[in-house]
Amino acid sequence: MIPIRLTLLLIGAFCLVLLIIGNPQPVTLQFLFWNQSVELYKVIVVAFLLGVVLTIIYTGQWRQLIRMKDERYYRRRRF
């Protein structure tokens, strides 16, 4: 049996590939004084990777906070 996380990862990768294949046209990105023409699939991939990185950072921070909270609880309980 295939694990659920692997299945979800494969489905997400398949959807990302479909988005990349279906969006080769260039788009114009404008930010303040900056103006750039880029293919839409590059924008999609960069946004996806940025989302993955931010999720990993957020999840790691959340786990660290939970771990610190548990350590404080057990220290108080001993005394």
Domain count, the chain: 1
Q: Identify the pLDDT of residue 73.
A: 64
- Tokens representing 59? 């999840």
- Cβ partners under 8 Å of residue 45, min gap 6: 16, 20
pLDDT score of 63 more than 80? no
- Cβ partners under 8 Å of residue 21, min gap 6: 41
Q: Identify the pLDDT of residue 60.
A: 75
Q: Average pLDDT, stretch 14-26?
A: 86
Domain that holds residue 36: 4-78
Instruction: Measure the N-to-C terminal CA separation of the chain; round to a whole number of Å.
Output: 47
Q: Average pLDDT, stretch 11-26?
A: 86
This prediction has a pTM of 0.62
Express each pLDDT in 24-58 by its tens digit: 899 998 888 889 999 888 888 888 889 888 888 88
